[in-house]
Amino acid sequence: MRLLLIGPPGAGKGTQAVRIAEHFDIPHISSGDLLRRHVADGTSIGRLVQEKMRRGDLVPDGIVMDILRKPVEAASRSGGYVLDGFPRTVEQAHAAYLVAKNLGASVQVALHLAVPRGELVRRMLARGEESERSDDTEDVINHRLNVYEERTLPLLDYYAQRETLVTVNGARPIGEVTWSMIVQLQKVRRRVTN
Ligand code: AMP
Per-residue pLDDT reduced to its tens digit, 23-59: 999 999 999 999 999 999 999 999 999 999 999 999 9
> What is the C-alpha separation between 45 and 65, in angstroms, rounded?
12
Ligand 1 close to Cβ of residue 63 (< 6 A): no
Query: 10 CA distance to ligand 1 centroid (A)?
Result: 13
Ligand 1 close to Cβ of residue 9 (< 6 A): yes
Atom from ligand 1 closest to the CA of residue 84 = 3
CA dist list (Å): 136 to 10, 49, 110: 10, 18, 27
Query: 193 CA distance to ligand 1 centroid (A)?
Result: 30
> What is the C-alpha separation between 121 and 118, in angstroms, rounded?
5
> What is the C-alpha separation between 4 and 84, in angstroms, rounded?
6
- 169 closest CA partner among 113, 89, 103: 113
Ligand 1 close to Cβ of residue 164 (< 6 A): no
Query: 58 CA distance to ligand 1 centroid (A)?
Result: 6
Query: 74 CA distance to ligand 1 centroid (A)?
Result: 21
Atom from ligand 1 closest to the CA of residue 57 = 12
Assess contact for 25 and 182: CB atoms under 8 A: no
pLDDT at 178 over 90: yes
Atom from ligand 1 closest to the CA of residue 56 = 10
CA dist list (Å): 21 to 18, 29, 71, 189, 193: 5, 9, 14, 14, 17
Assess contact for 10 and 124: CB atoms under 8 A: yes
| pLDDT in the model for residue 132 | 59
pLDDT at 134 over 60: no
Angle between helices 154-161 and 90-100 (to 10 degrees): 40
The overall pTM is greater than 0.85:
yes
Query: 32 CA distance to ligand 1 centroid (A)?
Result: 5
Q: Model confidence over 74-118: pLDDT tens digits?
A: 999 999 999 999 999 999 999 999 998 888 889 999 999 999 999
Q: How many residues does the chain have?
A: 194
Higher pLDDT pick, 166 / 138: 166
